[in-house]
Amino acid sequence: MDIEQLAKRQLSDYDRHVPGGLFASYSVAMTVEEAYALQFAVARLRMQRGEPVAGYKVGCISPVMQAQLQLDRPVFGHVFGSEIQPSGAVLDSDDFDGLAIEGEFGLRVARDIPNANWLRKYPNDAISAGFAVIELHNYVFRNTPHNAQELIGNNAIHAGVVLPMTETALTDPSVLLDTSILVSRNGVTLGTANGRALPEGPFSSLIKLAEHLAGFGVILREGQIVLTGSPLPLYRVARGDLIEVSCDRSEMVSCLISGPK
C-alpha cells in the first residue's frame, strides 16, 4: 500500500469538498494502523503547504457518539490552524460535505507535555484554559456499515472548529466534570450534558490523546488546542441555521450557516 500516494489523493478530494472518495465501495482495504499512517501523511502534506497543526481532537469517545457512529473505540485527529474560526463566523455550507456540528469542551495546553504519566501526576499544571467550542464535520461515510478505518483516514471527519473570542482560564480540569454544555439551533435546544458524559471526564481524553501520540513520536505542545470529544450527538445543520453552544463557565460560541434554508 502506497500511503504517500493515497495521502495525495485524500488531500485532493478534501480540497474539492468530497472527502474520503478512496473508501468508496471498499476500494481500499486497510488496517487501523494504516489508516492512522494515512492521516499523518495527509497532515504532513498540509504542513508542507503552510497549514500548521494547531492541536488535536478526540472523537467517538462518549457512549452516545459510539452508538451514533456504530463504532466501539475512540479515534483521534488533527486540528489545523487554517480551519479555526472565531465565534460569530459565517460559514458557507458549500465548503463542507454534509456539514454537522458538535458542542464540546476545548482545552488549551499550558506547556509541552512529555508523556501521559506526567499528565496523570501534574493535571493542574497541564491546562491553561477550558471552554466550549463548536466542532465542524464533514459528516459523510462512503461505506456502510461505518468502520474505524474510514473515520480515522478521514481525520475523524474533522473539518474545523469555532472558538470563543475569550478563553476562560482553567487550572483544575476536574471542574469540567460538573460543567454543562448546551447546544441550540435557531434558539431551540438540541441537547445538554456535562463533562461526566465522557468516560472519566474531558481530562481523561487528554491522557488518551497523549498515549496515542506517543506511538508516533509526537507530544502535545504548549499553546495547542485539544478537542476532548462530544458528550452529545453529532447534529446535521443546514443553510440559514444559527448554531450556539453555551457553557456555564465560559462564554457562548456561535456560528451562522450562510444562505437561505
CATH number at residue 248: 3.90.850.10
Write the single-letter amino acid at 136. Answer: L
How many domains does one find in the chain? Answer: 1
Inter-CA distances, 73 with 149, 173, 200, Å: 11, 23, 15
In a domain? residue 188: yes
pLDDT at 187: 96
As a whole number of angstroms, the distance between CA 93 and CA 108 comes to 28
Whether residue 16 is contained in a domain is answered as no
Strands (DSSP E) found in 92-249? 99-109, 127-138, 158-163, 180-185, 188-194, 225-227, 235-236, 242-247
Tell me how far apart the alpha carbons of residues 256 and 2 are, in angstroms, rounded to a whole number. Answer: 40
Residue 241 belongs to some domain of the structure: yes
The answer to whether position 33 is within a domain reads: no
Pairing type for strands 158-163 and 99-109 reads: unpaired
Largest CA distance in the chain: 51
pTM: 0.94
Residue 260 has a pLDDT of: 57
Taking the mean position of all CA atoms in its chain, how far away is CA 147? 17
Q: Please give the pLDDT value at position 26.
A: 61
Give 58-81 pLDDT, tens digit per residue: 988 877 777 777 777 789 999 999
Whether residue 76 lies inside any domain: the answer is yes
Q: CB–CB of 235/220 below 8 Å?
A: no
- The boundaries of the domain holding residue 237 are 52-257
